[in-house]
Structure formats: structure tokens, C-alpha cells
Amino acid sequence: MYRFNYIFLSFSILILALGWVTTTLASSDPKIEMGISEYTKTDERHAIIKPKKESKATTDHTKLKELQGPFFSGPEVTKACLECHNTAGHQFMKNKHWTWDYKHPKTGQHLGKSVLINNFCTNARGNEGMCAQCHAGYNMDSPDFDFTNQDNIDCLVCHESTGTYYKTPTSKGNKACSVMFEGKPAIDWAAVAKSVEMPTRNNCGKCHFYGGGGDNVKHGDLSSVLFDPPKDVDVHMSEAGEGFSCVTCHVGEGHEWAGSRYEMLVNDETGTGKPGMPRDVASCESCHSASPHPITSVQGIKLNSHTQTVACETCHIPAIARGGVATEVDWDWRTMGKLKDGEGFKLKEYTQGDGHHRATYKSIKGTFTYAEDLEPMYAWFDGTMNYTTIATKFDPSKGPIDINSFSGSHDDPGSRIYPFKRMHTTQPYDKGNNTLPYMHLWGNDDSALWGNYDFGKAIEAGMKKNGIPYSDEWGFVETYSYWPINHMVAPKDDALSCSSCHSHDGRLDHLEGFYMPGRGKNEMLDLIGLLAVLGTLGGVLGHGALRMIATRRRKV
């Protein structure tokens, strides 16, 4: 009996020792970070406060008695705001930042974060407890959120200026996410209420720069570098350039902002106002017109002729993810769920241009590939995006499925050649119905993926929660999504040169159906061009020869 206990005790000590050694080795590897801590530094990153310029506002909010507090919650601050701004609530309740809902005027598709599936974290619907940190409201924890209650509007997320305001999940996550959001200081509600002003980059960037689950993960042209960009990254937003904020171009009127990625205007013939003037679109032509280049030179005249078919962004945003912050270009969900000692972890094997490490693997999400200074993908684009929704059936054997696709052609005068970021993902799908599913990612229960690492349970729970049929079979399918590139406009001297496109193997070499000098292979046009050159040369030489002969005869 004593011998058995001795063996059992020794074995137990050995197991504990091995566990300690494994944990120690893992924690000592600088590439491995135990736990899930990706969001703990988000607020630190966007809390860039600069000395304020002299305000031109006609109201000093720090002196309003309604904002002196004390306040103990966000909704209390909202009530104080709406006492004076008594039409703002009605206006904002029509805004996509509030509704998360959009009806496409051309395709008729029902879009918006409340219903769409993407190829990053897949779906916000059903995961509002986590995703609603970027909803401009309070306490959204399910699709049943009360969108008619103005007290739920979060005025501070867009208007506070201290940089100390933050939002945390509205519901509890699983153990795998237990290290998120720890140790944050309490919000001084009166201080943030009195600090309100027009939205700045800090307000917009805290959500839009971190779309897709991290810094510049989604868009490629919206990253934390835009909080304070150098001029060579963004000539408009840099303090050394124009010093624009986001709302300089995305002009707001009645709490509606110009610009939409669902329905873009790529050939703007009406929005020709100046910065700060109300208009319906946020296009380059809004300020620069459709003839932006000086007509004092042949080059300028020729470049202006390009604007009928080539978007300004194509030449003036030469690369994606500039300024030292990488963007994700590939996400593989198949590897999700690896653990160390029963715990989730991150593997940091990519060091981006600004020196920060990025996780190439996360237990809750899988494997990532990053890129910086990436050449965009170019295509004809008429501004209309079409989406694969929860109801769209597809044939998985036909290769990567387009999560969102776009239309446009050379023959369409409303289309232009546009730059895109293309995102590739391998993600779960409903194998029996050939549809993309809603997954239950966030929650403190045994069906939440970010805790149990079980796709089957997560899909079943996500579909059941939304009352959508599920075949009980799931597999993986490759997907693409396309993101029009509009930000990080470079100085004009850094725009693409003519030879970037007008050459064999140039950036537009893959676009077909039209002739482009320097790239085209139309034999007839090439022959005409060659004859024109030879004719011109012959004319010059002949003229010179005749003048020489005539001069000699006069001397004789």
C-alpha cells in the first residue's frame, strides 16, 4: 500500500514538473504569448492627444451646467446631451453606425453588420457581446437590442476628446478570453462629457482602424498610423500636409456621413463642393474636380484625359499598408484550436515595419499571413458591390467564393479602373446547404468557439440562435473579399509613373478588352503608330535635306 502511494506521488510530481517546464519554456519564448490579450492595448494605441488649437466653436461645453455631472453611466451623459441637442437623437437613429442595417438601392440586398458574413471573424450577428464595442450605442448584447430608445445612443464614442473613453464587452466571454480588458481605469464620466467636440481621428480610428479584429487587419488603407501619419503615407491627413480629420472628407450633415463601401460613386459628376461643404459623396473630385492636373503642360492635359477611365486612387495610392503597419491577406481557420497546457496562445512570428510584432497564429482564430507595401489588385469598378449573404447558395467546387464581388467594365462609361485589397480566407461553411453559416464565437458557455474550439457546436448554436436551418454538416471553403482602396493618398511626386502601367508586365497587364499604349498588342494600331513615327521622322529628315539643298543653291 505504501509502495503504491509512493509511486503515485512520484508520478504526480513528475507530471507537475513536466507541466511547469513546458509552461516555463513556452512563456520564455518571446514568440509565444499565453492567453488572449489582443485588445488590451487598443485604447493605449489610439489615445494620441495633441495640444488643441484655438476653438472656433460658439459653445464651450466645459462650462455647461448640464455636463458638470456627476454621471455614473454613459446613458446618463446621453440624456444630458439630448436636452440641448434635441433633434440629434432622431437624426442618429437613421445612421448606419446605429442601425447596422442597409438596404442596397440597386441590388435590393439586405446588408449591414447586423446580417452580413465576412471572411475575418465571420459574423457580428449573435456575437454582439463582443462586436458591439464598435456599435455607437450602449448595452447591445443581442440582435434584440432596442433601436428605438434614444437613451442607448453613445454620443461619447464619436465626440469625446480626452482619449480616455473606452468600451468593453456587454457580455462575458469564455475562459480563453479571460485576460482581455483587464486592469482598465474607471471612466471619469464628467470629464469625458465636458470634452465633447467634433469627431477627430481618435474617435473614428478606434473602430475603423481596427476593423476585422486588429490594427489594419481588414482594409489595408486604414491603420493606426493614420492617427498621426507622416506626409509620405497620407498627404491629406498628415500635419505636415493638409492636416485633415476623417470628417473633412466624410462630411456630416444631420448625423449622416458621406461615403459608403456598399454603394460607391466612382465617377463623381455632381459632388464638386469644397472641403467642409455638405455633399452626398466623399470622392476625390469633390475637391479636385474631374480635371485635377494643370493644363499648362502636355503631360497635365494627357493625365486629365485618364480620369474618365482611371480612378484617382489607382495612381495616387501606389501601395497598400504603408507606414509600418501590416494588413492581413490570408486567414486560415483550419488551424484554430491548438493549445499549450490547455490554454490558448498567440505565436508572434511577424515583425512589421514599425517594429511591433504581429501574431501569425491565435488559438481562437487560426493562422494569418501579413503584407506591407502591397501592390493593389486593379479592376474595372462601377461602384456597386454584391454580397454573399446567409441565404446565398454556392457551389464550393468552383473555387474561392466571393464574399463580396463587384461589377464594372471597360464598355461602361460609369466604370473606372480601381485599386482593391483582396483578402483570402479558408473558413467554415454549411456543407449540406452550401451556404455560409453564423458561428457562435463569443459567450461564457460550452458552445462558444472562443472557448471550446469546436466548429460543429459553434455553428449549430449560431444557426439555432437565429432560427436558420443547419444541415449538421460543416466543412471548409476558400473565400475572397475585396476592399476598395481610398485612403493613404501619397504626395503627387510619389504617384505611379506612366511606365507602371504602360508597359508589358505592367500593373494593368491583366485587364483585357481594350488597347493601352505600351502594353497593347493590336497589330493594326502598332503598324499605324510605327508608320506615324516613321512618317514624322521621314518628314523631318526630308525637310532638313531640302533646306540644305536650297541653302547650297543660293550660295552658288
**Band (48; pLDDT cuts 50, 70, 90):** low
Residue bearing cell 502591397: 374
**Positive or negative: CA dihedral 497, 499, 502, 503:** negative
pLDDT of 372 reads 98
pLDDT of 519 reads 79
* pLDDT over threshold 90, residue 44: no
DSSP 15: H
* pLDDT over threshold 90, residue 467: yes
* pLDDT over threshold 50, residue 502: yes
Among 26-35, 86-95, 311-320, 345-354, where is mean pLDDT lowest? 26-35
**Positive or negative: CA dihedral 230, 235, 238, 240:** positive
Q: Each residue of 159-170: pLDDT tens digit?
A: 999 988 998 889
C-alpha radius of gyration, the chain, whole number: 29
The mean pLDDT of 108-117, rounded to a whole number, is: 95
Compute CA 256 distance to the chain's CA centroid, rounded to the nearest angstrom: 20
495 conformational bin, left if phi > 0, alpha if psi -120 to 50, beta if neither: beta
Closest Cα to residue 385, out of 413, 400, 407? 407
Q: For the chain, what's the residue count?
A: 556
* pLDDT over threshold 70, residue 26: no
**Band (278; pLDDT cuts 50, 70, 90):** low
**Band (17; pLDDT cuts 50, 70, 90):** low
* pLDDT over threshold 60, residue 322: yes
What does residue 19 show for φ and ψ, rounded to 5 degrees? -60, -40
* pLDDT over threshold 80, residue 269: no
pLDDT of 1 reads 45
Q: Each residue of 425-439: pLDDT tens digit?
A: 999 999 999 999 999
Residue type, 59: T
Residues 85-99: b if buried by 16+ CB within 10 A, e if exposed: eeebbeebbebbbbb
Average pLDDT, the chain: 88
* pLDDT over threshold 60, residue 457: yes
Q: Strand pairing of 327-332 and 416-430?
A: parallel
The SS3 of residue 111 is strand
* pLDDT over threshold 50, residue 63: yes
**Band (119; pLDDT cuts 50, 70, 90):** very high
**Band (522; pLDDT cuts 50, 70, 90):** low
pLDDT of 2 reads 47
**Band (49; pLDDT cuts 50, 70, 90):** low
Q: Each residue of 326-352: pLDDT tens digit?
A: 999 999 999 999 999 888 999 999 999
470 with 463: CB under 8 angstroms?
Answer: yes
The mean pLDDT of 464-476, rounded to a whole number, is: 96
Which helix (H) or strand (E) segment is 537 a member of? helix 523-555
Residue type, 211: G
What does residue 149 show for φ and ψ, rounded to 5 degrees? -95, 110
Q: Each residue of 218-246: pLDDT tens digit?
A: 999 999 999 999 999 999 999 999 999 99
C-alpha cell at 42: 487598443
Among 22-36, 468-482, 513-527, where is mean pLDDT lowest? 22-36
pLDDT of 316 reads 98
Longest CA–CA span in the chain (Å) reads 135
Decide which of 74 and 535 is more confident: 74
- Using CA atoms, how far apart are residues 120 and 122, in angstroms rounded to an integer? 5
The SS3 of residue 4 is helix
* pLDDT over threshold 90, residue 543: no
Q: Each residue of 255-267: pLDDT tens digit?
A: 888 777 788 888 7
* pLDDT over threshold 60, residue 276: no
276 with 248: CB under 8 angstroms?
Answer: yes
Q: Each residue of 378-406: pLDDT tens digit?
A: 999 999 999 999 999 999 999 899 999 99
**Band (5; pLDDT cuts 50, 70, 90):** low
* pLDDT over threshold 80, residue 515: yes
C-alpha cell at 480: 475572397
Count H helices and E strands in the chain, helices first. Answer: 16, 13
Percent with pLDDT over 70 in the chain? 88
- Please spell the DSSP secondary structure of 389-450, one letter per residue: -TT----GGGSSEESEEE---TT-TT-EEEEEEEEEEEEEEETTTTB------SSSSTT-HH
Residues 401-416: b if buried by 16+ CB within 10 A, e if exposed: bbbbebbbeeeeeebb
212 conformational bin, left if phi > 0, alpha if psi -120 to 50, beta if neither: left
* pLDDT over threshold 80, residue 310: yes
